[in-house]
Amino acid sequence: MLNRRAFLAASTLLVASGITARAQDRSEANALAYESIDQLRAIAAQGPAIVYFHAEWCPTCRATMVSFRGRWPEVQPGITLIIADYDTETDLKTRYGVTYQNTYVQVGVNGEKLQIWNGGGIDALNSKPIFD
């Protein structure tokens, strides 16, 4: 079972590890822990909001988090990655049709699912998001 403290520590480490990517016309890329659907809507109003369904017990998810820490400066500016606990955010999984961990969902300003994909890490974050 996922240790909530471990998950939050991983999320904090990701954010604290110098997660920045800059461009003149977009704000920095950012990573946050999931709080609420209202949070997702507010973030989506500012730019691409991508929910990442992470499970601490998942080897692929752990490797993805390591990759995020090492390669975050490569992420397109303007993207916000919201890390959701796969094991505890059951309502959120149901809302977006997520059936397994290491899944990404881009959320629109009304909280709707714009697109969903599994895996791909940094490369997918740079190629999948819809910028309005």
Which CATH number belongs to the domain containing residue 15 in this structure? 3.40.30.10
What is the number of domains present in the chain? Answer: 1
Identify whether the C-beta of residue 58 lies closer than 8 Å to the C-beta of residue 6.
Answer: no
In tens, the pLDDT along 57-113 reads 999 999 999 999 999 999 999 999 999 999 999 999 999 999 999 999 999 999 999
What range defines the domain where residue 12 resides? 4-127
Q: Is residue 132 part of a domain?
A: no
Q: What is the pTM of this model?
A: 0.80
- Looking at residue 47, its amino acid is G
In a domain, 121, yes or no: yes
Among 66, 77, 65, smallest CA distance to 23 is for 77
77 contacts 22 by C-beta, under 8 angstroms: yes
Residue 128, classed as helix, strand or coil, is: coil
Is residue 53 situated within a structural domain? yes
CA distance 2 to 86: 9
